[in-house]
Chains A and B, each alone.
Chain A
Amino acid sequence: MIRFLLLFLLAQALLFGIEILQPVQQAVILPWTALLASLGGWLMSFFDSDVLAQGKLIISQSSGFAVSIEPGCNGVEAMIVLLAAIIAFPAALSYKLWGLFWGFVAIQGMNLLRIVSLFYLGQWDRVWFDWAHLYIWQALIMLDALIVFLIWIRYLPRDGAIDRGQNPDVPEASI
């Protein structure tokens, strides 16, 4: 448990440190953020012809209301927390990669839902938009990462694939 916690904190410090480096921001984070805005706008265009995606902006053409998808709104932080947890937990590499893949799908799917909901909440009521934006969705995205991690542990084989060679004291997962 202590080994897991230390590795988890260390991996987070390292990954968050890498995330804020300017070359990483320019090459990965900003393009990914713009892609999310385009994807969100594209999804909304299926049921709302009023929506226009422009760079990192999603705009309502009739009301002029727009949301700007900024670094911090792109699910990367939740991915980093999940990645750190998966790195720190002893398991075979193939299982870690599967966990990451499904974590990516779950977190980014949830984040798209967040972007769509915030776009409409913002046009409806500013107070609810602020609440959802600043508090509720932050907690829900982190909860999403936690649930993916718990499900991943649940599906880890109880023997064999768990890398017990590194740490024979790892308890069997039971959720």
Chain B
Amino acid sequence: MGRPLQRFMLGVLLILPLTFGVWYLTAAYHLAPVTLLAEKTLHLIVPGALQWLKLDGHILVVASNFGADTTGQILSPPPGPDLLGFHLNPLIYSYSLPLLLALILATPGQERGQKLLWGILLLLPTEWFSMVFSVMKTLTFDVGAAFPAAAGFDAALEWMLSP
């Protein structure tokens, strides 16, 4: 193994704790565009199922457009002021950002800022896709039958989940 590779590996391992720290502390910023895009996408593909998506630090707060009536039945729109809300962890699909940053910083060369920007732009669709489908999964399994019925894909879901 040549020295450049050893230097690179050591560099990545030394920088990684730092980039993980920066990534965690700036989560509200780097997740903001993903959240905005995911919210717009969800309003488009499952209209009426979601009120809003917001970040509370690094936690994604999902406010659904569902609520329970006095008998416990889930309805959309919610019959009262209370609605079903969920907390998700969007950091689980963005851990590649600190890894990318550590790899770029440990690689000798110039234009690191430009490379990082390209990397973030290339990773953005993956984060957006993951967030959209995490919310969809949560609504499907945690809201129950009311969500696919309201979204109009109850038949498709029944077919997919049938043994």
Contacts and interface: CB of A to CB of B under 8 A. Distances in A.
Nearest to B17: A136
Contacts of B98: 135, 139
Interface residues of A, number: 13
A89 to B, nearest CB: 16
Main SS class of interface, B:
helix
B9 interface: yes
Contacts, number: 35
B86 to A, nearest CB: 18
Nearest to A151: B1
Main SS class of interface, A:
helix
A143 B99 contact: yes
A146 B2 CA distance: 16
B2 A134 contact: no
Interface in A117-153: 134-136, 138-139, 142-143, 146-147, 150-151
Interface string B59-95: 0000000000000000000000000000001011001
Which of B2, B20, B96, B99 has the most chain A CB atoms inside 10 A of its CB?
A: B99
B89 A134 contact: yes
A98 to B, nearest CB: 15
Contacts of A151: 1, 5
B20 A175 contact: no
Contacts of A142: 96, 99
Contact of A139 (B1, B2, B5, B95): B95
A135 B20 contact: yes
Interface in B1-49: 1-2, 4-5, 8-9, 12, 16, 20
A154 interface: yes
Interface in A141-175: 142-143, 146-147, 150-151, 154, 175
Interface string B97-136: 0110001000000000000000000000000000000000
Nearest to A139: B99
A79 B12 CA distance: 21
B121 to A, nearest CB: 16
B1 A136 contact: no
Contact of B96 (A134, A139, A175): A139
A154 B95 contact: no
B99 A175 contact: no
B40 to A, nearest CB: 26
A138 B91 CA distance: 12
A23 to B, nearest CB: 15
B122 to A, nearest CB: 11
Nearest to B94: A135
Interface of B: 1-2, 4-5, 8-9, 12, 16, 20, 89, 91-92, 95-96, 98-99, 103
25 contacts: A134-B89, A134-B95, A135-B20, A135-B91, A135-B95, A135-B98, A136-B20, A138-B95, A139-B20, A139-B95, A139-B96, A139-B98, A139-B99, A142-B96, A142-B99, A143-B99, A146-B103, A147-B9, A150-B8, A151-B5, A154-B2, A154-B5, A175-B2, A175-B4, A175-B8
